[in-house]
Structure 1
Amino acid sequence: MKIAVLGATGWVGSALVTEAKARDHEVIAIVRDPAKLTAKGVSTRAYDLHSNGDFAPVVEGADVVIAAISGRAAGNHELVAQTAERLLVALADTGKRLLWVGGAGSLEVAPGVALVTSSEFPVEYKDEAIAQGEALKVFRSSKSNTQWTFVSPAAVLYPGDSEGDFRIGGDAFFTNSDGESKISLTDYAKAMIDEAQRGEYINQRISVAY
C-alpha cells in the first residue's frame, strides 16, 4: 500500500511515517519544507497548506492520505477545518481514503456534551480542541464521496513505545481501570495504520485509548 502523510515532519506525522515504514508500506511524506524531513526511504513532496495550489498531484499514486495538521504553532486554528473541507473536495472521485488525526476534546463525556466544555479541560489546549471539533463537523456534514475516518486519541497522548493492547471506541470518552484516558504515540500510530490497512471504520469517528 502507498500511504501519503500530510504533516510528515510533525510529532504525530513522524510517528505515522515510522509505523507505516515498519510495515513495509510505501510512504509519500508531504511537507512544507522538505529540508526538515529526516525519515529515510520515503518519497518527499512539498506542499504549503497556506497556498492555493492543486493538491491532487501531491497525492498522486497514494491509496490512503493521512492528515496530521494543527494550527497551534502559528495560532491559525481556522486552518484545521478549512483543510478538512479542502481535502474532502480534492480527493472526491479519486478512490483515495482520507484518515484524519483528530483530537480528544470533541469526545462526549455525556450524550451531546463534549470533553472540551468540562471545567477540567486544560485552557492551553482549548482552541486546538475546538478547531478539531469544527473539523469533525465538516466531515460529518460533507457531501463529498471521499471515504474518511476521524481518529481521536485519548485525552493524554504522550511519547513512548507500545504498551500492548489498546481499545477502539466511538464518540464516547472512555478511561482505563484507573480512570485514566491515555495512549502512547506509538500505539496511536499503530491504530491509525491498522485503519489505513483494514478500512473498518469508513465515514466514522473512532477513538483510541488503553
Structure 2
Amino acid sequence: MKIAILGANGNVGSVLVEEALSRGYEVLALVKDKSNYNAKVGVEVKEVDALNKDTLVNGFKDAKIAVSAFGPKAGSENDLVVATRNLIDAAKEAKVDRFLAIGGAGSLFVSEGVTLANSGLLPEEWLPVVNAHVEALNVIKNETDLNWTVLRPSSFFQSGERTGKFKIGTDYLLVDSEGKSHISFQDYAVALFDEIDKGEFIKKAFTVGY
C-alpha cells in the first residue's frame, strides 16, 4: 500500500518515513525541495507546495493514504490553516482512502472546560502555532466527505526512543505518573501507524502520551 507523507524531510516526517518503511508500506515523500532531501532506498520523492492545492493533488496521486506532517515557519503560522484547507481539498480530489494529520496539544483539555491553549500554562511565544493548530483542527472537524484522523501529541514532543509503550486518549492531555506530558517522535509514529492499520479513529481526533 502506498502512503504519501507531506513534510517527509522534517523532524517528525522523517521518523514517520522510517516507521512506514519498517511496516512494509510503499512511501511517497512529499517535500518542497527535492535537492535537499536524501531519500532512502525505495522511497519515491515528489516536490509539492502545501500552499498550492494543485501540487498536492499531484503529490497524492496513486497513494491510498495521505499523512501531513506540515509545520509552518515562525511568523507564518496561519500557513498551517491555509495548508490544511488545501490538503483536505487535494485529498478528496485525489480520492485517497484516508487523510491523517499531526495535530497540536493545545486543543486538549487540562481540566473541565479548559484547554491547554487557554490555560495560561504555555509560554506566550508558543501561542501563535498552538492557536494555528487549534484552528486547523476545527477546519478538519467540519469535513464530512473525507476519512480524516488527527493525532495530537503530548505537551512535550521531541526525538527519543521507540518503546512501543504509551497511552492513548481522546480529549484530555495525557500525563505520566510524575505529572509530565510527553511523547517521543518515535512512539508518536508507532501510534499513528497503529491507527492506520486498525482504523479506530476515523473522523476523530485522539492523542498519545506516556
Note the C-alpha offset of 1:105: 1.1
CA root-mean-square deviation: 1.5
Return the letter of the residue paired with 2:106.
G
Structure 1: how far apart are the matches of 2:174 and 2:19?
Answer: 25
Whether the aligned pair in 2 keeps the contact of 1:188 and 1:208 (CA below 8 Å) is yes
Return the letter of the residue paired with 1:3.
I
Note the C-alpha offset of 1:112: 3.0
Aligned to 2:184: 184
Aligned to 1:137: 138
| TM-score (normalizing by structure 1) | 0.93
Aligned to 1:174: 174
Return the letter of the residue paired with 1:161.
E
Whether the aligned pair in 1 keeps the contact of 2:170 and 2:206 (CA below 8 Å) is yes
Aligned to 1:55: 56
Deviations 1:17-58 (A, max 9, x none): 011011121000000001121231200000112335342221
Deviations 1:128-160 (A, max 9, x none): 1100000110011224x1110010001011211
Aligned to 1:32: 32
Aligned to 1:2: 2
Structure 1 residues 9, 172: closer, same or farther in 2, change over 3 A?
same
| Equivalent residue runs for 1:10-89 within 5 Å | 10-41=10-41, 42-51=43-52, 53-71=54-72, 73-89=73-89
| TM-score (normalizing by structure 2) | 0.93
Structure 1 residues 110, 31: closer, same or farther in 2, change over 3 A?
same
Structure 1: how far apart are the matches of 2:191 and 2:66?
Answer: 15
Note the C-alpha offset of 1:177: 1.1
In structure 2, list runs of 5 or more residues that go unmatched. Answer: none
Note the C-alpha offset of 1:165: 1.1
Aligned to 2:196: 196
What secondary structure is seen at the aligned counterpart in 2 of 1:105? helix
Structure 2: how far apart are the matches of 1:125 and 1:40?
Answer: 33
In structure 1, list runs of 5 or more residues that go unmatched. Answer: none
What secondary structure is seen at the aligned counterpart in 2 of 1:30? strand
4+ residue runs of structure 1 moved beyond 6 angstroms? Answer: none
Structure 2: how far apart are the matches of 1:74 and 1:46?
Answer: 22
Q: Percent identity?
A: 37
Deviations 1:47-75 (A, max 9, x none): 1123353422211111110001121x252
Q: Which moved more, 1:19-28 or 1:53-62?
A: 53-62
What secondary structure is seen at the aligned counterpart in 1 of 2:105? coil
Count of residue pairs the alignment pairs up: 208
